[in-house]
Structure formats: structure tokens, C-alpha cells
Chain A
């Protein structure tokens, strides 16, 4: 399973776009890139997953360059409720299996 590196913390203000970048230099051909969000006193929640290029859903966008050695989670116009820890995971999950969580990025959104 590829190791990931993310910033430990980030600060933002309401209404701004937030981009969190994750490095995964050892990503394998079959690996997917997945992001989870965790609020205090709750379990992680799946946000978005991608393999290459760009993926967008109602919550976020995920940008993956051609070499796939990094990825960027983009949160448009954040609000106070987006304050959470964001985890980037990389691995061969298309057949199910254990998840290996890195340290995550603690995002603090201020008014």
C-alpha cells in the first residue's frame, strides 16, 4: 500500500476554495485514490475517489495529474461546517480490503 503525505493542518475562511494536496510517489498501477472526511466524535465519511484525471461530485473535486504521484482535493466555497480532518488514502481497493490511514489534514475554517 502506497504511503501518503499530506499537510498536517490548514486554515481557511468561509467562502474560500480550499485545496489539499496529497503526495503518493509510490502509487501502483492498480491503486485508487480516496479521500475521507472526519468530524469530531464521528467515524470517517467517504468524500470522493478517483483513478486519474478529474472527478467531481456534489461535495468536492479530485484532481489527479498524469503521473498520479499526487492528488488534490478541492473544496469549493468552504463553510464553518467543513472544519474536519481530511484523509487521503491510496491502495488497491477495487476488490475490497483494509484501509490504511495516514495522519490526515486538519482543516480549520474561520468566519
Chain B
């Protein structure tokens, strides 16, 4: 299993500002994932963060709005830039484990609840 710590757990921010969310994992992992969960909705993948290369963004998400860093195999940051109220969501960091018997088990941080006013 993996233990994931996210900081901050919640924040209230002014529109037009930026917030950087940190994700720390207790073991080395190849890929880290960032998700967004809007109020009352399911999770949507923002991007995959690989160490040593640029993040891979999903359709509808761009690097200028959600820059990601991945300086080593246990840490990543997601920045929400130039925020607007529509960015109010829970942002989640995730890693995966590949069991010997096949399949994938994902582990999630507790999330960062962002409110933009």
C-alpha cells in the first residue's frame, strides 16, 4: 500500500490568484496522477505526472492553467493558476500499485478542498 499526504487540506482563495498543492508519497512511484472532483460530481483526471518529463494532460486541461512539477519519485505539485470560482473543487493526488496477480490498485490522498471567492 501507499500513504499519500496532500497539503493544504483546504483553502479559500481570491479569484485571480494561484494555489500550489503538494503531494507526498511514502514510497517511490513512477507515475502520479492529479484528479479534480467538482461539487457533487465524479472524479476527472487532469494529468499524469512522470518524473523527469513533462506531465501529460487530458483533454480540456492545459499546462498554463494547471502547471505540474515532479522533481523526484515521491513528490509532485499541482498549481491552479489565475483562479476563478469555477475552479472550486476537490483536487486529489493518486498513485498506483501493480499487484503480482495482475490488475491495478490506486491509492488517493485525502484531497484538497479549494474554494475560490
| Interface positions of A (Cβ within 8 A of B) | 32, 34, 36, 41-46, 49, 51, 87, 93-104
Contacts and interface: CB of A to CB of B under 8 A. Distances in A.
B30 interface: yes
27 contacts: A32-B102, A32-B104, A34-B103, A34-B105, A41-B113, A42-B108, A42-B111, A43-B4, A43-B109, A43-B111, A44-B43, A44-B106, A46-B105, A87-B42, A87-B43, A94-B102, A94-B104, A96-B31, A96-B98, A97-B31, A97-B96, A98-B45, A99-B106, A100-B45, A101-B35, A101-B42, A102-B42
B contacts with A: majority SS: strand
Contact of B48 (A46, A98, A100, A102): A98
Decide if the interface of chain A is mainly helix, strand, loop or mixed. Answer: loop
A45 B4 CA distance: 12
B94 interface: yes
Contact of B104 (A34, A41, A43, A45): A34
6 A-B pairs with least C-beta separation? A43-B108, A93-B104, A101-B43, A32-B103, A101-B42, A49-B103
Contacts of A93: 96, 103-104
Given A45-B108, A96-B30, 5 more contacts: A43-B4, A43-B110, A49-B103, A49-B104, A97-B96
Interface in B40-58: 42-45, 48, 58
B45 A99 contact: yes
A94 B103 contact: yes
B103 A98 contact: no
B75 interface: no
Most A C-beta atoms less than 10 A away, residue of B102, B106, B108: B106
Interface string B89-117: 00010101010001111111111010000
